[in-house]
Structure 1
Amino acid sequence: MPVTYRLAKDFNIAANIIRAQVAPNQVGKLVLELAGDIDQLDAAIDWMQAQHIDVSFASREIVIDEDCCVDCGLCTGVCPTEALTLEPETFRLNFRRSRCIVCEQCVPTCPVQAISTNF
């Protein structure tokens, strides 16, 4: 089913695909950032649930263990919002939580497992 198309056409919702793990005839996972009128957003979420699409809200946040982090910068290369950057002068990792959309792409990228999610 073309979910993002239906969100745009039927509810005037802009759906930004952050992460997708979808295969034909299998259960998948799609992380979306939705933007639009609040009433339309509520209606779109109700529609998705009526289509047996499990909807969960990003109530998690990224946590970085600064004692474990080696400031290698690998996570900065996969961060789509540049919430993770290296300071140009010190080469230390800088995390701007306000830019983070909790796409979790940084979690498996960290070689020392210093990045995790918190509920």
Structure 2
Amino acid sequence: MYTQIYILRFPKDTSDKPFIYQLVKEYDIEFNILKADILLQREGVMIIELKGSSKNNVKAGLDFLKGLGVQTERLAARIRRDDSQCFQCGACTGICPVGALYIKRPEMEVIFDAEKCTGCSLCVPICPVRAMEVSLDKDWVLPEETVMK
């Protein structure tokens, strides 16, 4: 599965269109709306997690949105682990949907692979010592062109 988080900015003339329905039906994309500010006849903003069986599903869905005039940006959340806090309990490994957190055997060491991390932040509240943290700085919002190549 390919999972990424995006910021959608849509013009006021698309605020009443069922584009999320189309993403599910036509492009076989699962979604999780993380935050939304949508009012009829006004510009809207939505932070949404999109999950497709492949990168191509998500890219096709994003192309559909762009055709409607929706601006899309990948939200690249940065997840960090404070190694001085982490005591290697492994609680985070069971919740990570993409395998960015896993147990290295036979050492039984908890490994964090930042390259695999999608920034979903599920690991943050599950960590008993709060060794995992998320940063959503504006510097980490990437233009779509740098992501889907």
Q: TM-score, normalised by structure 1?
A: 0.67
Query: What SS class does the counterpart of residue 74 from structure 2 fall into?
Result: coil
Higher relative contact order (CA 8 A, sep 6+): 2
Mapped contact 1:76–1:85 kept (Cα < 8 A): yes
Match of 2:113 in 1: 96
Name whichever structure is richer in strand by fraction. 2
2:124 equivalent among 107, 114, 118: 107
Q: Which amino acid aligns with 1:41?
A: L
Q: Which moved more, 1:56-65 or 1:36-45?
A: 36-45
CA distance in 2, matches of 1:46, 1:85: 39
Residue identity (%)? 26
CA distance in 1, matches of 2:28, 2:87: 37
CA distance in 1, matches of 2:24, 2:102: 32
CA distance in 1, matches of 2:101, 2:73: 24
Match of 1:32 in 2: 50
Mapped contact 1:13–1:41 kept (Cα < 8 A): no
1:63 equivalent among 63, 80, 83: 80
CA distance in 2, matches of 1:92, 1:64: 14
Q: TM-score, normalised by structure 2?
A: 0.55
Q: How many residues align?
A: 106
Q: Which amino acid aligns with 2:81?
A: I
CA distance in 1, matches of 2:88, 2:95: 15
Cα offset, 1:111, TM superposition: 0.7
Match of 1:25 in 2: none
Mapped contact 1:7–1:15 kept (Cα < 8 A): yes
Cα offset, 1:97, TM superposition: 1.7
Q: Which amino acid aligns with 1:71?
A: Q
Mapped contact 2:96–2:122 kept (Cα < 8 A): yes
Cα offset, 1:57, TM superposition: 2.6
Structure 1 residue 44 corresponds to structure 2 residue 65: yes
Going from structure 1 to structure 2, the CA distance change for 1:44 and 1:29 (only over 3 Å counts) comes to closer
CA distance in 1, matches of 2:89, 2:120: 20
Q: State the superposition RMSD in angstroms.
A: 3.1
Query: What SS class does the counterpart of residue 92 from structure 2 fall into?
Result: helix
Query: What SS class does the counterpart of residue 123 from structure 2 fall into?
Result: coil
